[in-house]
A = this chain, B = another copy of it.
Amino acid sequence: MPVYQVPVRDMQFLMHDVLKLQNHSSLPGFGDATPDVIDAILNEAARFHEEVIAPLNRVGDLEGCTRHEDGSVTTPTGFKEAYQQFCENGLGALAHDPDYGGQGLPAILALAIGEMTSSANQSFGMYPGLSAGAWRAIHAAASEEQKQIYLPKMSDGSWTGTMNLTEPQCGTDLGLIRSKAVPQADGSYKISGQKIWISSGEHDLAENIIHLVLARIEGAPEGIKGISLFIVPKFLVNEDGSLGARNGVSCGGLEEKMGIHGNATCVLNYDEATGFLVGEENKGMRAMFIMMNEARLGVGMQGYAAAEAAYQNALAFAKDRLQSRAISGAKFPDLPADPIIVHPDVRRMLMDSKAFIEGARALTYWASLQEDLSHKAPDEETRQKADDYMGLLTPVIKAYQTDKGSKACNDAMQVLGGSGFCEEWGLSQYVRDVRISMIYEGTNGIQALDLVGRKLMRNGGRAVQSWFAELDQWIKDHEGVDGLGDYAKGLAGVKAKLMEATQWLGANAMANPDNAGAVSHDYLHLFGLTAHAWMWGMMAKEALAHKGDGDPFYDAKLKTGRYFLDRILPEADSHLAKVKAGSEAMMALEADAF
C-alpha cells in the first residue's frame, strides 16, 4: 500500500526560517498566523490527510465516478464523508476573505493544505481546489450582492464551484467559444451550449454547484472580445438563501481518463439554463485572468505534490528492497543483498526528485507570499512588485514544476522496477494522475508562450528586470559568505545564461516571431532552473545558520542543495544551446512533408 507522510518539517522550515512569515505580522491576517498557530494547523491537517484522505486515493482510482441515468454523479466510496470532515475542519477557506466566510489567514497556509490534499489524493483535492478557483473569480469580479449570495456557502463547503471554459472546438483558443447567452427581461440570461472537461462538474459532495461559465451574449463581437462570464448555479437560489428550482444544466457524460479517476470530468450541457452576468458584458476574459495566476500556481504545486508522494514510496522501497551488492563492496554482508538505496543510479533518481521537490516547494511558497503581498501590502510599490513577480513566475512554476513533477513520478516508478509498473504498488497512479497537470489550466506550451510573449515584455520588462536585480543583489550579498559562495556562484552562472537567452530573445523574436515560440519551452526551463537556484541559496543560508544545532534536517538540506548545484544546474547548458538554435530547423519542414 502506498505511504504518504506530510512533510510538515519542510513546510515549517520554509514558513518560519526561509520566508519568515512572522516578519510580515502587520499584514491583515498574518498577525493571527503566529508560529504556534501555523504549527498547530499544519500538524492537525497532516494527521487528517494521512489518516483520512490518503487511504481514499487508490479507492478513487479503482472505482472512479459513476454517472447515473438521471445525470447525477456519485463520487468514489468514502469521498463524501471525507469531504464533510474536510469542511468541518475548516480546511477549504483558510485564506478566504473573512467578510465572506473565510478565515483570512495567509495564502501560504491554504497552499500547504492544498499540497497535502494533492499529495494524498489529487482527484479528491480537485473538488475543493476548483471550488477555491471559482470562489476567487467571484470574489474578484462579481457584484457585492452576488458575493453575499454565493461566497459564504462556498467558504463553508456546502456549495462547490467549477470553471467552464472548454468546448469541443475550443480549448486554448477561447475566442472560438460558441455557448450563447440570451438576455432576459429580469436581467438574467438563458445560457445554452456544451462545455467539456469540466472538473468536479457534477458530484454528490455538496448540495449545490456554482458553475462559472464563459459564453457569448447574442450580438457580442466575434472572438475573445465578445466573451462574458456567468454564474450558473445547479440549483437556483431563493431570496432567503434556500435552494430553489433545478437549473437547466446537466452532466451529459464522464470522460474516461488516464488518471484522476476519482474526479468527475464532465460534459456539461446547458439548455437555456439561468445565468447571472459577472462583471461587465464582454469582459469575461478579464475576470478569468484575475484568478488564472493563482489557479496556475496551484497546478504548479500539484506537480511537486505528486512527486513528493511518489518519492516517499520510492524511498521506502529503496530502503527495503534487497538486490545486488553495492559496487564499492557489500554494505550489509549479513543480509542476502544490500538495500537498493546503496546503488548510485537509484540514488540519482531519488536525489533528482528530492532536490526538485524541495526547490519547487520553496518557490511555490515564495510565490504564494507574493500573492498575499500583492493584495495586502500597505504600500503600492510592494504590491506592484509582488504582483509583477507573481505574474512573471507563475507560468514558470506551472510548467517547469509539472514537467519535472511528472518526471519525478516516473523516476519513482523506475526505482521500483517491475513493481512500479504493477498497479498494486500505487506508483502507476501517481504517474497517471500527475500527467494532467502538464495539460490543464493551459498546457505547458501555453505557459511558455505566456512567459516569453506576455510576461517578459509587460510594462517594458519591468518585472524581469526587477527580478534580475534582486538575484544580483543576493549574489553580491552572499558570494563572500562562508558556505554560500558556491550557491552564489551557481546562481550567477545560471542567471548569466538566462540573461543571454533573454537577450537572444530580445534580438530575434521581433524580427521573426516564430523564434519566440520555438525557444519558449527551453527558455522557461532555464528560468525555472534559475528560480530554483535562488531558492536553494535561500534555503542553504538558513540551514547553515542552524548547522551547529546537530539537527540532521539541516545537514540533509545542505547536502541536497549541493546535489542541486552539482547535478541539476548543468541542465542549463543544453537549454541555452537550444534557445540559441532558434526556429529555423523547427519550421523548415512543410506540414505535408511530415
> Chain A residues in contact with chain B, CB under 8 A?
166, 169-173, 176, 196-197, 255-259, 315, 319, 322-324, 327-328, 336-337, 339, 341-351, 354, 406, 410, 413-414, 417-418, 420-424, 428, 431-432, 435-436, 438-440, 443-445, 448-449, 453, 512-514, 516-518, 520-521, 552, 555-556, 559-560, 562-563, 565-567, 570-574, 577-578, 581, 583-594
Q: List 21 A-B contacts (CB under 8 A).
A: A169-B336, A171-B418, A173-B337, A257-B423, A258-B431, A258-B432, A259-B421, A327-B453, A328-B514, A343-B445, A344-B514, A344-B586, A346-B445, A552-B590, A552-B593, A555-B593, A559-B585, A563-B585, A565-B585, A570-B574, A573-B573
- Contact residues in B for A417 (Cβ distance below 8 Å): 171-172, 439, 443
- Contact residues in B for A559 (Cβ distance below 8 Å): 585, 588-589, 593
- Contact residues in B for A196 (Cβ distance below 8 Å): 418
- Contact residues in B for A444 (Cβ distance below 8 Å): 414
A581:B566 contact, CB within 8 angstroms = yes
With the chains together, A506 CA to B435 CA distance in Å? Answer: 39
- Contact residues in B for A453 (Cβ distance below 8 Å): 327
Q: Distance in Å from the Cβ of A2 to the closest Cβ of chain B? A: 14
Q: Distance in Å from the Cβ of A426 to the closest Cβ of chain B? A: 11
With the chains together, A72 CA to B138 CA distance in Å? Answer: 58
A323:B170 contact, CB within 8 angstroms = yes
Other CB < 8 Å A-B pairs besides A344-B583, A346-B445, A552-B592, 19 of them? A172-B417, A173-B323, A176-B336, A256-B422, A256-B424, A258-B432, A319-B594, A327-B517, A347-B589, A348-B521, A349-B445, A351-B589, A414-B443, A421-B439, A559-B588, A562-B588, A567-B578, A567-B586, A572-B574
A518:B586 contact, CB within 8 angstroms = no
- Contact residues in B for A432 (Cβ distance below 8 Å): 258, 432
- Contact residues in B for A354 (Cβ distance below 8 Å): 594
A173:B439 contact, CB within 8 angstroms = no
With the chains together, A513 CA to B589 CA distance in Å? Answer: 46
Q: Distance in Å from the Cβ of A451 to the closest Cβ of chain B? A: 12
Taking A173-B323, A336-B176 as contacts, is the C-beta distance between A445 and B345 under 8 angstroms?
yes
- Contact residues in B for A342 (Cβ distance below 8 Å): 591
B348:A414 contact, CB within 8 angstroms = no
- Contact residues in B for A420 (Cβ distance below 8 Å): 439
A435:B422 contact, CB within 8 angstroms = no
With the chains together, A516 CA to B327 CA distance in Å? Answer: 9
Which B residue's beta carbon lies closest to that of A172? B323
Name, among A342, A566, A592, the residue most crowded by chain B CB atoms within 10 Å (CB to CB): A566
Q: For A172, give its contact among B324, B349, B592 (CB under 8 Å).
A: B324
Taking A319-B591, A567-B586 as contacts, is the C-beta distance between A258 and B518 under 8 angstroms?
no
A512:B328 contact, CB within 8 angstroms = yes
B577:A573 contact, CB within 8 angstroms = yes
Q: For A517, give its contact among B345, B406, B571 (CB under 8 Å).
A: B345
Name, among A173, A197, A584, A586, the residue most crowded by chain B CB atoms within 10 Å (CB to CB): A586
